């Protein structure tokens, strides 16, 4: 008895170009697998067996990542662009606009690029013991009663 037929040649290979575009558009591997009509274990096996699929997924994801990195960098550092206004089909005005650096984008960039230097949580070690004892020996009985009553 022969096993089930491999869908790679019919459901995946003819769509490698589309798969790359889908990756570039931000589709997850799960979404791609569903679009192709392939089961999750089969898709995982195809990625292991067919270098073309692996490279296609990698290439598409890298291109999308580069675009996002560029956009994040521009927002973090600020940029300028030219705005052109048209009236009745003719250019009437050109204005250079400036987009100020976005501190949130800059912080995000730095935390990811230099995590040891820019992480939020600082690890501080404490040396020595802790003493939770309070010396009440210098207080009068009346002062001690006031303290006890104030805790209620």
- pLDDT tens string 16-27: 999 999 999 999
Give CA separation, 42 vs 13, 31, 35, in Å: 13, 14, 14
Quick one: what percent of the chain has pLDDT higher than 90? 66
Contacts of 74 (CB under 8 A, 6+ apart): 99
Side-chain-facing half-sphere of 24: CA atoms under 13 Å: 11
Reported pTM: 0.56
The residue that leads in pLDDT, 143 or 48, is 48
Higher pLDDT, 151 or 102: 102
Residue 127 has pLDDT above 70, yes or no: yes
Q: What is the pLDDT of residues 49-64, one digit of tens each?
A: 999 999 999 999 999 9
Mean predicted confidence (pLDDT) in 104-120: 88
């Amino acid at each position: 008895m022969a096993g089930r037929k491999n869908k790679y040649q019919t459901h995946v290979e003819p769509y490698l170009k589309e798969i790359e575009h889908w990756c570039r558009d931000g589709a997850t591997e799960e979404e791609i697998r569903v679009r192709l009509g392939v089961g999750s274990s089969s898709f995982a096996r195809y990625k292991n067996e067919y270098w073309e699929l692996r490279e296609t997924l990698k290439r598409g994801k890298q291109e999308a990542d580069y675009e996002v990195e560029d956009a994040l960098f521009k927002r973090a550092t600020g940029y300028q662009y030219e705005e052109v206004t048209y009236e009745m089909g003719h250019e009437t005005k050109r204005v250079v606009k400036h987009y100020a650096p976005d501190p949130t984008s800059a912080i995000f960039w730095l935390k990811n690029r230099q995590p040891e230097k820019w992480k939020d949580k600082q690890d501080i070690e404490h040396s020595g013991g802790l003493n939770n004892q309070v010396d009440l020996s210098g207080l009068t009985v009346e002062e001690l009663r006031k303290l006890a009553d104030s805790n209620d």
